[in-house]
Chains A and B, each alone.
Chain A
Amino acid sequence: MAMNSGAELPGSGTGPGSGGADVPAEDERLACGRMLSEVWEAWEDGADDPARDPHLRACPHCSAAVRQLDLLGAAVREAGGGREPEWDAGALTERVMDVVRLELRPGRPLPLGEREEDLWVREAMAAKALRAAAETVPGVRAGSCRIRPAESGGSPSRGPVRVRLEVVVPLTPRLRDLAEEVRRRVRGAADDALGLPVDHVDVHITDVTDPAGADPGGVGAEEGNQP
């Protein structure tokens, strides 16, 4: 073990038989011949099981070394026990969000209303509304929601958009029906909450959760893809 860099401790002259020429600067050879680092590691690995290494338990030097670590552990628990302040994560969250709100990433402008109008909505806001609509279907959780102009051409395009939404859904034999319901609600919200003309909604099921809360079995990307 390389022990020769960084802040060195004063040489370990405390233990009997410490410090041979072959011993790394901060390690220590116990009187029984074991290295302190080995003893501590064995203790950490649970190798102080007497069946595996009877010496560790029987040897007074080794058990003294282990007791030191136990004492340290006790002091750590003692110090941690009452000292932890009541963290006010609420105030911290507010401070973080104050900065975040000055550095929002609103995304690209998407057209609102008719082609000849000059009204827009930013992608990040529209995506929030569409995810929320998807999540009105019981058990559905929405992830990525990308909204792009359906037609290529002028930038930014005034044409209708194409939505690509990823969802995690509860396990059901009728995944296609579920995807269809998600698509219907997303279209509804694009109309009723935003006024965003939508050409196409792709719903990608990225994961399926067991309603019993057990195994979330990934099924890859089951795709429901009708307009």
Chain B
Amino acid sequence: MTTAATERDALAGTVARAAADVPGVAFLRPGLADLFRPSARTGPPRAAAGRAPAGVRVSRASATGPWEVDVQIVVHRDRHALTVARTVRDAVTTALSATAPGAQVTVTVTNAV
């Protein structure tokens, strides 16, 4: 694995943890629904170790350009989607302030459960 890829995966891990901890976030999309529904017998395969977590995409246009972070979340039904999305954006921005200052964070609410 290249250094760049390692760095990207590390950033993605940071983003996923910061986003998942925000109140009102049920899980990151796609796919971790099975963790939250013990009744489900089948479900998506868990992300293989070392691969970017579900629901997070990290990229940059050039080696020195700002990081672009895309987070897809599923929120709890009774939560205000915009408020949760803003809190996720702020939490992710803060979490990246040391390692990737100036990162552009996009948050998409894909569903409510």
Contact = CB atoms under 8 A, between A and B. Distances in A.
Quick check: do A and B touch in the complex, using CB within 8 A?
A: yes
Contacts of B43: 98, 102
Most buried by B among A112, A124, A128: A112
Given A102-B31, A120-B106, A122-B110, A192 B80 contact: yes
Contacts of B86: 113, 117, 119
Interface string A183-201: 0000000001111100000
B40 interface: yes
Interface in A114-171: 117-122, 124-125, 128-129
Contacts of A118: 89, 104-107
A27 B40 CA distance: 53
Interface in B62-113: 80-83, 85-86, 89, 104-112
Given A113-B85, A194-B82, A125 B106 contact: no
Contacts of A99: 42
A98 B108 contact: no
Interface in A174-221: 192-196
DSSP majority for the B interface? mixed
B110 A125 contact: yes
A83 interface: no
B52 interface: no
Nearest to A111: B82
A124 B108 CA distance: 13
A89 interface: no
B90 to A, nearest CB: 11
Contacts of B42: 95, 98-99
Contacts of B104: 118
Given A112-B81, A195-B83, A120 B107 contact: yes
Sort A-B residue pairs by CB-CB distance and give the 4 closest, nearest first.
A195-B82, A119-B85, A120-B108, A121-B109
